[in-house]
């Protein structure tokens, strides 16, 4: 079996091993692959692995030997799944590997915003605490999470984990979900989307990017939110209309936003959120702890092994 990894650097920049994958066949790992290089590098491959490199139908048509595509991520919108189905190509993804790490990032952003951790550390290093007359020093509002309403949009593995963590802070949990109220724990209140945006002090996005959710957070929905509210997005950048969010932040109609994803990554220099007031942005690293990437690599190998044994798992295309 010939195995080709098109963009291995994303999941493994050198601190992990490809040895377990290499045991399954002839394996070539490329750190990065441009669109122009995909066909040449994928030629003759039985199995392709990709993190962000798109695999379209016209490419599949030129790779008659291809039997398997392993997406080294949870989201698989980079794959033409209809074309894969037509050609009998198995496509797998890696669900749930990053749940603890993404949950951690949600609260890293939320705690930084409410306690202004980075700002106050910077001010201490500038000497402002040393020059202060009192034993303590702060120059921004400090906000307690207890009894605040946390609104979670999407109750998959990560949404549930965020809910559990928020309960630990004493927050009241609301969720927009397709699950019925009877499927939810009693501590969690089901809400319609507009109601959740209007009532909650914190809104955290955990839904997939689909045609229906693209631009979910727009000017109309932002206008529903409290001026004191906080928006967190560790899911997909295009869930948010970035111009509308920047305007809401700059006008003081929304208190703050904590984002780990943007609509274009890396962002364009003119992205309005880069200069927006109280907008805290991390470079899509919620998933990237060593522990999460180790799980990702292990599941990627397990997925291919299961396929070879005729018992494919984590399939995103059904025949």
Work out the burial of residue 224: count CB atoms within 10 Å of its CB; fewer than 13 is exposed, 13-18 middle, 19 or more buried.
middle
Radius of gyration of the chain (CA): 22
Please pick, among 26, 37, 144, 265, the residue that the annotation labels catalytic: 265
Please pick, among 109, 172, 190, 236, the residue that the annotation labels catalytic: 236
Contacts of 49 (CB under 8 A, 6+ apart): 3, 4, 5, 6, 8, 21, 69, 70, 71, 72, 300
Please pick, among 41, 243, 277, 284, the residue that the annotation labels catalytic: 284
Work out the burial of residue 86: count CB atoms within 10 Å of its CB; fewer than 13 is exposed, 13-18 middle, 19 or more buried.
middle
Q: Are 89 and 66 in contact (CB under 8 A)?
A: yes
Q: Are 18 and 8 in contact (CB under 8 A)?
A: yes
- Residue 195 designated active-site: no
CA atoms of 95 and 110, how far apart (whole Å): 24
The dihedrals phi and psi of 302, each to the nearest 5 degrees, come to -60, -40
Task: Say which DSSP state 27 is in.
Answer: E
- Residue 20 designated active-site: no
Q: Can you say whether the dihedral through the CA atoms of 1, 16, 284, 7 is positive or negative?
A: negative
- Residue 87 designated active-site: no
* Count of CA atoms in the C-beta half-sphere (13 A) of 20: 14
- Which of the residues are catalytic? 236, 265, 284
């Amino acid at each position: 079996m010939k195995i080709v990894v098109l963009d291995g650097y994303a999941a493994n920049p050198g601190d992990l091993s490809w040895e377990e994958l290499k045991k399954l066949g002839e394996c070539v790992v490329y750190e990065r692959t441009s669109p122009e290089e995909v066909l040449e590098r994928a030629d003759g491959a039985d199995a392709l692995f990709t993190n962000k490199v798109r695999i379209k139908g016209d490419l599949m048509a030129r790779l008659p030997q291809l039997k398997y595509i392993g997406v080294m991520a949870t989201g698989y919108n980079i794959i033409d799944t209809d074309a894969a189905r037509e050609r009998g190509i198995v496509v797998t993804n890696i669900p749930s590997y990053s749940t603890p790490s993404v949950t951690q990032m949600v609260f890293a952003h939320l705690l930084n915003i409410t306690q202004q951790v980075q700002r106050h550390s910077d001010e201490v290093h500038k000497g402002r605490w040393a020059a202060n007359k009192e034993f303590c020093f702060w120059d921004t509002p400090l906000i307690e999470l207890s009894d605040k309403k946390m609104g979670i949009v999407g109750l998959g593995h990560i949404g549930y984990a965020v809910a559990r963590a928020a309960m630990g802070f004493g927050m009241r949990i609301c969720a927009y979900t397709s699950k019925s109220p009877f499927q939810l724990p009693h501590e969690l209140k089901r809400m319609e989307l507009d109601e959740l945006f209007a009532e909650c002090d914190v809104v955290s996005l955990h839904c997939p990017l689909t045609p229906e959710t693209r631009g979910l957070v727009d000017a109309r929905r932002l206008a529903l939110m409290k001026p004191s509210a906080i928006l967190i997005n560790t899911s997909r950048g295009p869930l948010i209309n970035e111009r509308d969010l920047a305007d809401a932040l700059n006008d003081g109609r929304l208190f703050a936003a904590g984002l780990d994803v943007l609509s274009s990554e890396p962002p364009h220099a003119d992205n309005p959120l880069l200069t927006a007031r109280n907008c805290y942005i991390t470079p899509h690293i919620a998933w990237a702890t060593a522990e999460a990437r180790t799980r990702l690599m292990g599941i990627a190998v397990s997925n291919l092994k299961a396929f070879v044994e005729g018992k494919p798992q984590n399939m995103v295309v059904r025949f």
